[in-house]
């Protein structure tokens, strides 16, 4: 087959020549054949690429890992000390916080190892090994073991990864797992061996007035003055292997940690970032960019804005609610504002026009090559967009409302199991289901849930959803509202939140004492959750059907673009695998008459201070340190205290917490954000505007030592003056 022949070819994107741009989230395993060294050294790299990544020896790669479920962290001491962002550690900080111990407000500083707090559920993952499995996938397609379309699927790739582990020398080793993923839209495949440590303890976190200084207002903005960092530590068993939490565990003696540079930075200095960027979509067509704007971003903005308005008021009125919903609100707000900024930047930066120009060039290229697949692929993608746009909108409205927005519901599958057990009068099955229901109730009414706050959210979002989608996208419970509650949303929601089995402990205990089929069948929460699931399944099925063979179309388009642009570098889209990006420290000019220099100082914190705005409160101790200029050896030569800086590195979500390193591979900061003007960067990289915002490592150490009083942590680091 023609497609299989193309699959067997060496990926043309791997033959690169030097490029002017800093665009590219590069695969470590391809650095040699892509000749990255020459380009990086031309911009200031002093070490060899083997010092960054080598399959045969320890390198910088071994000091970087996945922190939690969606961030990057780096090892900064021989004893497993992790540096990441404050917003990455926010869940853990919030998990340990209470009204009595409000670490969100006050910060947390472990002065010795015994004070470090175990954090259940938090993990740190290292990449142990990377293997190219493209030939194996192609052979499986050729042999009929998998279709080309299904080669993208999780079922096939999981089986491939599991079989690879069984045959590996790492089989049976503690904490080892495997993951196989497609790259370049399925033109390449790589297998990753991952080592996961599950005993990760909280060590240090500044108060939110430092770690989240500027809040929503400054998010995605420059100039920035946020001390966005936190510290944790990996613990292992006595052999250094991953192990569940135990008092007997010890700090991990790591094979690599980053040295920290206090030498400072200047405009034009080399900067590289290693981390786990989550997702980019650089190969979208013009119509697909419009789909992102209208089908994802706009619905997300509308639903999150409505929910956040409720949460703001409730959090401002209660410290208990503020702590409960701090992480939820921060998570929601982050990509609410990102979606707003992305839609604006797509227009401001003429992304649609750029994509249209690319498609016109691609059409000429296809004609020159006399390639029928290339000539027709964009039109076929446009047809796909026409089919899926209304369904994409409905799915976004649904998931934002009923999966991310409203928390209350019933574990209807367990209730279904209980119904079967009751019908058959099987005592053991009844007892088992009731025990599962107890877990389900506890999961709903957890420490970070407030029933009355969620009720208020539901009263806003349930009517909003009905206004936003066609009638055939409404779950069945909307008919109940119409017929039994005369269309009164508030009356229905009050009944749902007051009378259901899962509404409160009293109702739940009463049901446990006398579980009946009638009670389950008549329960509003069971009906509500069941109808939600039925509609979600329908929406997914309709969407999947409308998608058709879009994965194969993308595969063809990306392969064609790589050929068209060769030998210009084209990196694969981000997919939360380890990547390297290189660039320089650099200022920028966002618009006429405005210049942003490449760094900020503590002076800016004081200029932004507003005691009446919780986003801009400055801790008294920080003001005292500023007044006395008690900066130690972390100050600039002019005596000022640096806070944040800008680079041209290509990053996205998932890179939060990533190490920013100088030409010697020494740590100079931690990446935490991008700039407002380039929020279309996940779709189209802008050479002039794209900036990475990082917290200066000198500000981190200054806060740790002078405000946190943790000289013990400074002493275990390797610091280069």
The secondary structure of 99-147, three-state, reads: CCCCHHHHCEECCCHHHCEECCCCCEEEEEEEEECHHHHHHHHHCCCCC
Q: Say if strands 594-596 and 588-591 run parallel, antiparallel, or are unpaired.
A: antiparallel
pLDDT of 498 above 70: yes
pLDDT of 14 above 70: no
196-234: pLDDT as tens digits = 999 999 999 999 999 999 999 999 999 999 999 999 999
Cβ neighbours, 10 Å, residue 538: 14
Q: Cα–Cα distance between 103 and 315 in angstroms, integer? A: 16
Say which residue, 247 or 3, is predicted with more confidence.
247
Q: Is 646 helix (H, G, I), strand (E, B) or coil?
A: strand
Q: Cα–Cα distance between 80 and 83 in angstroms, integer? A: 10
* Percentage, residues of the chain above pLDDT 90: 94
pLDDT of 7 above 60: no
Catalytic-labelled residue, pool 87, 225, 257, 554: 87
- DSSP conformational letter for 32: T
456 vs 225, 313, 396, 530, 552, CA distance in Å?
Answer: 34, 11, 21, 22, 44
Active site residue 656: yes
Q: Cα–Cα distance between 629 and 622 in angstroms, integer? A: 10
> What stretch of H or E contains 489?
helix 489-499
In this prediction, residue 675 carries a pLDDT of: 96
Catalytic-labelled residue, pool 22, 79, 228, 523: 228
In this prediction, residue 20 carries a pLDDT of: 44
pLDDT of 15 above 60: no
706 vs 476, 556, 703, CA distance in Å?
Answer: 59, 56, 5
Q: Cα–Cα distance between 584 and 42 in angstroms, integer? A: 11
- DSSP conformational letter for 403: I
- Pick from 33-47, 500-514, 646-660: least confident: 33-47
170-189: pLDDT as tens digits = 999 999 999 999 999 999 99
In this prediction, residue 568 carries a pLDDT of: 75
In this prediction, residue 129 carries a pLDDT of: 97
pTM equals 0.92
pLDDT of 17 above 70: no
Q: Cα–Cα distance between 677 and 346 in angstroms, integer? A: 10
Is residue 181 within 8 Å of residue 164, measured between CB atoms? no
Catalytic-labelled residue, pool 230, 503, 656, 680: 656
388-408: pLDDT as tens digits = 999 999 999 999 999 999 999
pLDDT of 274 above 70: yes
63 Cβ contact list (under 8 Å, min separation 6): 74, 75, 254, 256, 257, 258, 659
In this prediction, residue 2 carries a pLDDT of: 35
138-154: pLDDT as tens digits = 999 999 999 999 999 99
Nearest to 251 by CA among 231, 264, 237: 237
In this prediction, residue 35 carries a pLDDT of: 81
448 Cβ contact list (under 8 Å, min separation 6): 94, 324, 325, 327, 328
Q: Cα–Cα distance between 315 and 321 in angstroms, integer? A: 5
User: What is the average pLDDT value for the chain, to the nearest integer?
Assistant: 95
pLDDT of 19 above 70: no
Q: Cα–Cα distance between 268 and 583 in angstroms, integer? A: 9
**Mean pLDDT score, 541-552:** 96
Nearest to 496 by CA among 436, 564, 444, 548: 444
Is residue 178 within 8 Å of residue 128, measured between CB atoms? no
pLDDT of 480 above 90: yes
Active site residue 98: no
In this prediction, residue 345 carries a pLDDT of: 95
555-602: pLDDT as tens digits = 999 999 999 998 877 899 999 999 999 999 999 999 999 999 999 999
pLDDT of 467 above 80: yes
Centroid of chain to Cα 60:
22
Centroid of chain to Cα 410:
28
Is residue 194 within 8 Å of residue 179, measured between CB atoms? yes
pLDDT of 92 above 60: yes
Q: Cα–Cα distance between 358 and 364 in angstroms, integer? A: 10
Q: Tell me the backbone φ, ψ of residue 414, rounded to 5 degrees.
A: -70, -40
19 vs 568, 578, 599, CA distance in Å?
Answer: 7, 22, 26
Q: Cα–Cα distance between 297 and 290 in angstroms, integer? A: 10
Is residue 234 within 8 Å of residue 215, measured between CB atoms? no
Nearest to 474 by CA among 416, 523, 401: 401
Q: Cα–Cα distance between 314 and 613 in angstroms, integer? A: 16
Q: How confident is the model at residue 32 (pLDDT cuts 50, 70, 90)?
A: confident
In this prediction, residue 5 carries a pLDDT of: 36
Centroid of chain to Cα 575:
10
In this prediction, residue 570 carries a pLDDT of: 84
Is residue 276 within 8 Å of residue 656, measured between CB atoms? no
pLDDT of 549 above 50: yes
**Mean pLDDT score, 353-369:** 97
350 Cβ contact list (under 8 Å, min separation 6): none
592 Cβ contact list (under 8 Å, min separation 6): none
Phi-psi region of 355 (alpha: psi -120 to 50; beta: other; left: phi over 0): alpha
* Percentage, residues of the chain above pLDDT 70: 97
pLDDT of 16 above 50: no
Q: Is 419 helix (H, G, I), strand (E, B) or coil?
A: helix
Rounded to 10 deg, the angle between the 451-468 and 372-398 helix axes is: 130
Is residue 327 within 8 Å of residue 342, measured between CB atoms? no
Q: Cα–Cα distance between 115 and 708 in angstroms, integer? A: 14
pLDDT of 12 above 70: no
580 Cβ contact list (under 8 Å, min separation 6): 25, 26, 28, 31, 36, 52, 53, 272, 273, 274
Helix, strand, coil percentages for the chain (3-state, nearest 5) = 50, 15, 35
Q: Is 230 helix (H, G, I), strand (E, B) or coil?
A: strand
HSE, CB side, 13 Å, CA atoms: give it for residue 592.
0
105 Cβ contact list (under 8 Å, min separation 6): 207, 208, 209
Active site residue 87: yes
692 Cβ contact list (under 8 Å, min separation 6): 273, 583, 646, 647, 648, 649, 650, 651, 655, 660, 671, 673, 674
Torsion of CA 420, 426, 429, 432, to 10 degrees: 120
499-544: pLDDT as tens digits = 999 999 999 999 999 999 999 999 999 999 999 999 999 999 999 9
**Mean pLDDT score, 258-265:** 96
Is residue 188 within 8 Å of residue 559, measured between CB atoms? no
**Beta bridge partners of residue 196, listed in sequence order:** 125
111-138: pLDDT as tens digits = 999 999 999 999 999 999 999 999 999 9
Q: How confident is the model at residue 9 (pLDDT cuts 50, 70, 90)?
A: very low
Q: Cα–Cα distance between 223 and 695 in angstroms, integer? A: 12
């Amino acid at each position: 087959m023609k497609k299989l022949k193309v699959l067997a070819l060496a990926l043309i994107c791997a033959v690169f020549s030097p490029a002017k741009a800093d665009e590219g989230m590069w695969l470590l395993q391809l650095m040699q054949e892509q000749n990255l060294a020459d380009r990086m050294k031309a911009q200031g790299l002093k070490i060899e690429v083997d010092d960054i990544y080598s399959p045969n020896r320890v390198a910088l790669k071994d000091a970087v890992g996945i922190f939690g479920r969606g961030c990057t962290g780096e090892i900064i001491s021989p004893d497993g000390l992790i540096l990441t962002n404050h917003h990455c550690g926010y869940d853990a900080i919030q998990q340990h916080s209470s009204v009595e111990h409000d670490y969100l407000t006050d910060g947390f500083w472990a002065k010795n190892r015994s004070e470090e707090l175990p954090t259940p559920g938090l993990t740190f993952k290292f990449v142990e090994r990377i293997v190219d499995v493209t030939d194996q996938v192609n052979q499986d397609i050729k042999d009929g073991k998998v279709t080309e379309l299904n080669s993208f699927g999780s079922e096939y790739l999981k089986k491939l990864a599991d079989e690879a582990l069984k045959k590996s020398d790492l089989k049976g080793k503690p904490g080892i797992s495997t993951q196989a993923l497609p790259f370049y839209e399925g033109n390449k495949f790589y297998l990753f061996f991952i080592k996961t440590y599950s005993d990760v303890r909280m060590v240090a976190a500044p108060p939110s007035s430092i770690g989240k200084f500027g809040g929503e207002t400054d998010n995605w903005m420059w100039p920035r003055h946020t001390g966005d960092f936190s510290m944790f530590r990996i613990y292992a068993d006595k052999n250094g292997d991953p192990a569940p939490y135990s008092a007997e565990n010890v700090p991990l003696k790591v094979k690599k940690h980053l040295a920290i540079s206090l030498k400072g930075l200047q405009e034009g200095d080399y900067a590289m970032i290693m981390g786990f960027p989550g997702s980019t979509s650089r190969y979208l067509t013009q119509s697909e960019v419009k789909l992102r704007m209208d089908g994802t971003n706009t619905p997300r903005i509308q639903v999150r804005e409505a929910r956040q308005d409720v949460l703001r008021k409730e959090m401002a009125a209660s410290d208990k609610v503020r702590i409960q919903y701090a992480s939820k609100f921060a998570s929601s707000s982050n990509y609410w504002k990102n979606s707003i900024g992305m839609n604006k930047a797509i227009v401001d930066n003429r992304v649609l026009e750029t994509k249209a120009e690319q498609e016109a060039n691609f059409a000429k290229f296809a004609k020159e090559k006399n390639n029928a697949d290339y000539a027709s692929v964009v039109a076929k993608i446009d047809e796909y967009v026409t089919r899926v746009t209304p369904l994409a909108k409905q799915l976004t409205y649904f998931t934002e409302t009923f999966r991310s927005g409203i928390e209350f519901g019933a574990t209807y599958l367990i209730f279904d199991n209980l119904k079967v057990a009751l019908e058959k009068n099987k005592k053991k099955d009844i007892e088992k289901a009731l025990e599962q229901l107890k877990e389900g109730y506890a999961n709903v009414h957890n420490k970070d849930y407030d029933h009355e706050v969620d009720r208020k959210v539901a009263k806003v979002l349930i009517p909003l959803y009905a206004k936003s989608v066609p009638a055939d996208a409404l779950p069945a419970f909307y008919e109940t509202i119409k017929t039994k509650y005369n269309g009164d949303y508030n009356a229905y929601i009050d009944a749902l939140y007051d009378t259901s089995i899962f509404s409160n402990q009293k109702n739940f205990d009463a049901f446990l004492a006398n579980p009946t089929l009638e009670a389950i069948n008549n329960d509003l929460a069971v009906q509500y959750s069941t109808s939600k699931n039925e509609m979600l399944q329908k929406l997914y099925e309709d969407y999947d059907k409308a998608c058709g063979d879009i994965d194969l179309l993308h595969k063809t388009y990306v392969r064609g673009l790589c050929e068209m642009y060769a030998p210009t570098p084209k990196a694969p889209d981000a997919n939360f695998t380890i990547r390297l990006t290189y660039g320089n420290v650099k200022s920028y000019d966002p618009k006429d008459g405005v210049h942003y220099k490449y760094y900020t100082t503590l002076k800016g914190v004081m200029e932004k201070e507003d005691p009446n705005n919780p986003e801009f409160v400055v801790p008294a101790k920080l003001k005292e340190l500023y007044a006395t200029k008690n900066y130690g050896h972390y100050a600039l030569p002019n005596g000022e205290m640096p806070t944040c800086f800008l680079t041209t590195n290509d990053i996205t979500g998932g890179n939060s917490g990533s190490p920013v390193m100088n030409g010697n591979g020494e740590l100079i900061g931690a990446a935490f954000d991008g700039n407002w003007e380039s929020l279309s960067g996940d779709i189209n990289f802008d050479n002039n505007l794209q900036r990475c915002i990082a917290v200066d490592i000198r500000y981190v150490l200054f806060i740790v030592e002078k405000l946190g009083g943790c000289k013990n942590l400074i002493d275990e680091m390797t610091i280069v003056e």
